[in-house]
Amino acid sequence: MNSENAISRRKALKFLALGSVSTVVAPSLFTTSCAANRQAGYQSYSEIFNSVYPFELAPLPYAHDALEPAIDALTMEIHHSRHHQGYINNLNNALESRPELHSMTLAELVANLNELPASVMTAVRNHGGGHLNHVIFWNTMSADGGAPGGDLAAAIDSAFGSMDAMKEEFTRAASTVFGSGWAWLASDSDGALQIVQTPNQDNPLTDGLNPLVGIDVWEHGYYLNYQNRRGDYISAWLDLIYWDKVNEIYQAAI
Rounded to whole angstroms, how far apart are CA atoms 42 and 101?
27
How many angstroms separate the Cα of 170 from the Cα of each of 165, 180, 234, 240? 8, 16, 9, 14
Given CA atoms 95, 108, 181, 219 in this order, what sign does their dihedral have? Answer: positive
* Of 128 and 208, CB closest to Mn ion: 128
Residues 158-187 that bind Mn ion (CB under 5 A): none
What is the DSSP annotation of 42-56?
PPPHHHHH---SSP-
**Closest distance to Mn ion from the beta carbon of 87 (Å):** 8
Range in contact with Mn ion (rule: CB under 5 A) among 5-13, 31-39, 61-69, 213-221: 213-221
Contact criterion met (CB below 8 Å) for 148 and 238: no
Proportion of the chain in helix, strand, coil states, percent, rounded to 5: 55, 10, 35
Q: Which residues face 199 on adjacent strands?
A: 181
Phi, psi angles (nearest 5°) of residue 58: -80, 150
* Of 49 and 218, CB closest to Mn ion: 218
Is residue 202 involved in binding Mn ion (CB under 5 A)?
A: no
* Of 61 and 146, CB closest to Mn ion: 61
Can you give the C-alpha Rg of the chain in angstroms? 17
**Closest distance to Mn ion from the beta carbon of 10 (Å):** 26
Q: Give the type of residue at 46.
A: S
Range in contact with Mn ion (rule: CB under 5 A) among 153-161, 179-187, 189-197, 211-219: 211-219
Range in contact with Mn ion (rule: CB under 5 A) among 2-10, 35-43, 119-127, 217-225: 217-225
**Closest distance to Mn ion from the beta carbon of 64 (Å):** 15
Q: Which residue is nearest to Mn ion (CB)?
A: 216
Whether omega for the bond prior to residue 211 falls within 30 degrees of 0, making it cis, is no
Residues 221-240 that bind Mn ion (CB under 5 A): 221
**Closest distance to Mn ion from the beta carbon of 180 (Å):** 9
Residues 86-115 that bind Mn ion (CB under 5 A): none
Interface with Mn ion (CB under 5 A), residue total: 3
Is residue 216 involved in binding Mn ion (CB under 5 A)?
A: yes
**Closest distance to Mn ion from the beta carbon of 90 (Å):** 14
- Where do the DSSP E strands lie in the chain? 181-187, 193-199, 210-216
Rounded to whole angstroms, how far apart are CA atoms 226 and 110?
31
**Closest distance to Mn ion from the beta carbon of 218 (Å):** 5
* Of 13 and 123, CB closest to Mn ion: 123
**Interface contacts to Mn ion, rule CB under 5 A:** 216, 218, 221
